[in-house]
Amino acid sequence: MSLAILLAVIGAALTLLPLALGMPAPRGDSARRAGLVVAVATGVVAATTWSGSGGVVVAAIAAVAALLLHTLGATSRDARLWLGLAAVAVVVVVIGMVTGRGDVAFVASLVALALRVGVAPLHAGVFAIAERQPALLIELFGSALGAVVLHLRLIDGASVLARDVAVPVVVIGAAATLLGALLALAKTTLRGLWAASVGMHAGMLLAAVGAAGRGHDVAAVLVVVTLALGMAGFGFVVAALEARVGRVTLTGPGGRVRAFPTLTAAFAFFAAAGVGLPGTAGFIADDLLLHALWEEGPVAAAIVVVASATLAISLLRGYGAVFLGPPGPRTVARDLDGRERLVVAALVLALVVIGVLPMIVVGPASALSD
């Protein structure tokens, strides 16, 4: 039960996170967001606490609802297309469960997960959202938690298939991780860097989900929690900065640290947390993931380590290009306001608490897999 509450709270909070950016919202957005919170919480609670196929079906229906609500908030046709495809895949999950075809539901869930978190080569949607509507991607991290727990539940109904495809899924995940990290190395905009970082973490998540097919479920839960908190924090900082100075390129030196010291510190923290800074959830998530991957193939584990190191270098390069250097042009924009600081502090605390005391997630997640 505690895992359900924890994930539901994190999911709901991330769904509401874009509100702290203070951007003008279209009419009806409050109702959409309220529906999203309900769908996210319902999906997580049903997937984690309701045993039997009934819980899975309810969680899948909630996931479809969440994806449709995300689609309603999307401003680009690409976002609608890709989120719609993910919704269709989850509908197939529901049909598979209702008709007793666990294998079909498992495969459809894997595809839906890859579409919604942006695993290469199905990353076009997430990249488009990151580059055009960052607030929507932050929302999506909130509902991704439930999607992963739902997928872990589906493994029971397709245990043979899950075991058989574990290695190929891990290999695809590891390759997507490396691709994301290499793309990050060549990105020239801050949003692009964020999108590539998300792509890299999505690869890690797919690898973790693949390894979960052979019993490593806990790593997948911790990886998705880290992805959601770390990448949402990163995206929040990117959106907050661009709300002040417009589109940011990495051609630097940007020299923004004087004008935005707290934003700079927050960027550094979330970037570091995303690549496994000790004391944050990312460190322990990486550790668990690599041990899980090693058992499926040491090469995949090595690829993920190399990708993580490569992304770290890209992020430090981005940090230098955006914030360091001689002071940039004078700006009237202020550093993070009180509401934004509160959000940043809450995300920092969540990442640190889970990093220092990982058993608060690992314990209940182990119980779930038992």
Partner 1 sequence: MHDPIVPAMLVSAFGPGLAALVIGLWAVLSPRRPTEQTVSRVVGVGLALSLLGAVAAAGLYIGGHPAGEIHVGDWVRIGDYAVPIVFLVDGVTVAFGVLSAVTSALAARFSRTYLHKEAGYLRFFVLLALFATGAQLISFAGAFDLLFAGWELVGVSSALLIGFFHERQEPVRSSLRAFATYRACDVAFFIAIVAIHELLGTTRLSVLSTSASLPEWERALVAGLLLVAAFGKSAQLPFSSWLPRAMEGPTPSSALFYGAVSVHAGLYLLLRVWPLLDTVPVVEVIAAIVGVATAIYGGLVARVKTDAKGALAHATLAQTGLILAEIALGFSTVALVHIVGHALLRLWQYLRAPNTLHDAHHRGHAHHDEAWWQRLLPAPWSTRVFAAAMQRLRLDERLDAVVAPLFAVARALERGDRRLRAAVSLDEVERTDRSPR
Token look-up 């770390």 returns 230
Q: Any contact of residue 344 with partner 1 (CB under 8 A)?
A: yes
Type of residue at 339: R
Q: Any contact of residue 117 with partner 1 (CB under 8 A)?
A: no
In this chain, which of 97, 128, 169, 175 binds partner 1, going by CB under 8 A?
128
Q: Which of residues 205-224 bind partner 1 (CB under 8 A)?
A: 218
In this chain, which of 19, 25, 38, 81 binds partner 1, going by CB under 8 A?
81
In this chain, which of 224, 358, 364, 368 binds partner 1, going by CB under 8 A?
358
Q: Measured from the CB atom, is 165 or 182 closer to partner 1?
A: 182
The pair of three-digit structure tokens given for residue 151, joined into one six-digit string: 């997928």
Type of residue at 366: S
Q: How far apart are CA 62 and CA 67, in angstroms?
A: 9
Q: Measured from the CB atom, is 243 or 265 closer to partner 1?
A: 265
In this chain, which of 55, 72, 78, 242 binds partner 1, going by CB under 8 A?
78
Q: Any contact of residue 272 with partner 1 (CB under 8 A)?
A: yes
Which stretch of DSSP H or E encloses residue 133? none
Residue 179 CA, distance from chain mean position:
17
Residue 335 CA, distance from chain mean position:
26
Q: Measured from the CB atom, is 39 or 365 closer to partner 1?
A: 365
Residues that bind partner 1 (CB under 8 A): 76-78, 81, 121, 124, 127-128, 132, 179, 182-183, 185-187, 218, 253, 255, 257-258, 261-262, 265-266, 268, 272, 276-279, 283-284, 287-288, 290-291, 294-295, 298, 301-302, 305-306, 309, 312-313, 316-317, 320, 323-327, 338, 341-342, 344-345, 348-349, 352, 358-359, 362, 366
